[in-house]
Amino acid sequence: MSYYSKVLASTGLKLQPDTPPYTGTTLSSVPGIVDGIWTTNYGEFIKDYSYGVDFGTAKPITRLFVFHTYGDTWRTPYIDYATMELYYSNDNATWTLIQEYIAPTHTIGSSAGSGFVVDFTSVNARYYKIVNTSNYSFRDSGNYSMDVYEIIGYETLAGSAPLRAGEATSMNLSPTDIGPGLSLSTDLVTVTCTTQGRQSIRANKAIPSSGKWYWEVEVLNTEQCSTSEPLYGKGVGIGLESASLTDRIGGNAQSWSVISSGYSWYDSNLNPNGFAGVPLAFCKYAATYGPTIGLAYNADAGELYFKFPDWDVRMATSDPVVGVDPPLDGILGEVFPMLSLYSPADRMRINFGGAGFNYEVPTGFLAVGDAYFFADETICTWNPADRGSNLLIDKATLLTATHA
C-alpha cells in the first residue's frame, strides 16, 4: 500500500480549448485552482479543455486529485466512456505524454463534492496537465457539467523506520480499559468490535505530561461507513483515565478526537476550533488513499493535531511543528491514546513506534512509545555463586557487594 503527502503548488493552470496533439501549447495561470478553497468554479471540463498545476520547481509527483462539481455523485452517465491524457512539462511550452486514462475509477463522492484521482509513475517535473480528450462533455441528463474547483498534487511517502528498530515498547492497548463489546489481539495492538454500540479502548500507559509525541492508527475496515452512526462511530484521539469506555472519544468533556466523518470532536461538539474537516475521512478517502491516521500531541501546549491523506486539503494551515491552528487545544491532565469503534467487524491497529510509521514524524516529535522502551528493562544483579571469597553480597536485593 502506498501513502501520499500533499505538495504545495505555486499556481493552477488552464487552457480552453487546448490544441491537439496538446504537446506545444502554453496554459494560463489560475492561482485559485490550488488555493485550498473548494467553492470557486474555474470552468467546465469539456472536450479539449486542459487543467493543470505549476509547482514552481520540479517535483516528483505521483498523483493528482481533481475536485469538481459539488454533489453526491459524478452527476454524469458518460464517465464510463471518458478519456483523459496526462502530460508533464518543465517550461509550460513543450509537453510530454505520461499516459492515457479511460474512465478513471478512483472516484470520490460525498455531500461536499466529488472528484477523481489519476495515479502515475513519478517523472519529476514542474508542470502537469490533464486534458479531456473524450467526445463527451461530462454532462448529465439535466445538462449539469463537470466544473473544476481544485487540483491537488501528491508525492508518494517512503514512511519512517521504527525509531528504535528491533526493540519493543511496553506501551500497548489495555486489556482491562476496554469497552464490553471490543476484542483485543494477543499482541495488544489491534482491536475489533464484536457487538454494536459506542465503545472505546485506552492505552495501558499515559502520554508523558511534557514533550511532543507522535503515533499512528490504521483503520483496517473502510466499508463499514455506510450509514450515519457507523460514519460517526469510529474515532481516534486521547482521553483522561476517567473518560467513558461506553461512549465515543470526544463525546464527553474527558476526551478529544477526530471521528470517522473527518471532524474534530470534543464534549459532543463538532469542530470546536471551527475547522471544516474532511468528508468521509476514514471511509471514502481512506479507501482511496490508505486508511492511516497520524496523531501529534504537544503536551507542553495541550494541542492535538491529526494527519491523514487530504486532511491538509481542508486544513492547510494546521501545523504541529510550528504550533499553528490545532484542531483541538486547551487539553489538560494526564491523557492516554484512545480508539473508538461502533459496528461489528470494525477493526483498528495502533502503532506507538515499535513498527515503521507510514508518515514522516513531525520535526521535534518523538514516537510516544519511546517514553516506555526502558520502563520494563531487566535489572542486572550480582551472582552470589560467582564471587571472590572476600566479597559479601546483599542477599535481599543482590545489588550491593561489600569487601569483607
Say if residue 179 is in the same domain as residue 127.
Answer: no
Does residue 56 contact residue 28 with C-beta atoms inside 8 Å?
no
Average pLDDT, integer, range 126-130:
96
For residue 165, tell me if it sits in a domain.
no
| 261 compared with 223, residue with greater pLDDT | 261
Say if residue 383 is in the same domain as residue 356.
Answer: no
Q: Please give the pLDDT value at position 134.
A: 80
Say if residue 209 is in the same domain as residue 312.
Answer: yes
* Residue listed under C-alpha cell 518543465: 90
Average pLDDT, integer, range 364-389:
66
Least confident of 48-52, 175-179, 236-240, 390-394: 390-394
Q: Please give the pLDDT value at position 281.
A: 52
Domain of residue 22: give its range. 3-157
Determine the Cα–Cα distance for residues 212 and 238; give it in Å rounded to an integer. 14
Average pLDDT, integer, range 365-372:
86
Least confident of 31-45, 168-182, 316-330, 378-392: 378-392
pTM of the entire structure? 0.59
Say if residue 191 is in the same domain as residue 72.
Answer: no
Determine the Cα–Cα distance for residues 173 and 201; give it in Å rounded to an integer. 7
For residue 168, tell me if it sits in a domain.
no
Q: Please give the pLDDT value at position 280.
A: 46
For residue 166, tell me if it sits in a domain.
no
Which cell numbers in the block locate residue 90? Answer: 518543465
Average pLDDT, integer, range 280-298:
65
Q: Please give the pLDDT value at position 289.
A: 45
164-215 pLDDT, tens digit each: 444 557 899 999 999 999 999 998 999 999 999 999 999 999 999 989 999 9
Which cell numbers in the block locate residue 32? Answer: 485559485
With cut-offs at 50, 70 and 90, classify the pLDDT of residue 402: low
Does residue 296 contact residue 307 with C-beta atoms inside 8 Å?
yes
Say if residue 402 is in the same domain as residue 273.
Answer: no
Average pLDDT, integer, range 267-295:
60
For residue 185, tell me if it sits in a domain.
yes
Q: What's the mean pLDDT when you consider all of the chain?
A: 77
Other C-beta atoms closer than 10 Å to the C-beta of 38 total 15
Least confident of 206-215, 229-238, 319-328: 229-238
Number of structural domains the chain divides into: 3
Average pLDDT, integer, range 296-321:
74
Which cell numbers in the block locate residue 295? Answer: 496523531
Closest to 364 measured CA to CA, from 312, 272, 299, 316: 299
Say if residue 191 is in the same domain as residue 304.
Answer: yes
Does residue 117 contact residue 104 with C-beta atoms inside 8 Å?
yes
Dihedral over Cα of 311, 286, 342, 71: its sign? positive
Q: Please give the pLDDT value at position 28.
A: 96
Say if residue 255 is in the same domain as residue 297.
Answer: yes
74-118 pLDDT, tens digit each: 444 445 456 889 999 999 999 999 998 875 544 444 434 466 778
Q: Please give the pLDDT value at position 176.
A: 94
- Look up the CATH number of the domain holding residue 213: 2.60.120.920
Say if residue 358 is in the same domain as residue 386.
Answer: no
Say if residue 186 is in the same domain as residue 283.
Answer: yes
Q: What percent of the chain has pLDDT over 70?
A: 68
With cut-offs at 50, 70 and 90, classify the pLDDT of residue 232: low
Average pLDDT, integer, range 396-403:
54
Q: Please give the pLDDT value at position 386.
A: 67
* Residue listed under C-alpha cell 494551515: 317
Which cell numbers in the block locate residue 334? Answer: 494526564
Q: Please give the pLDDT value at position 363.
A: 85
Q: Is 79 helix (H, G, I), strand (E, B) or coil?
A: helix
For residue 230, tell me if it sits in a domain.
yes
Say if residue 177 is in the same domain as residue 76.
Answer: no
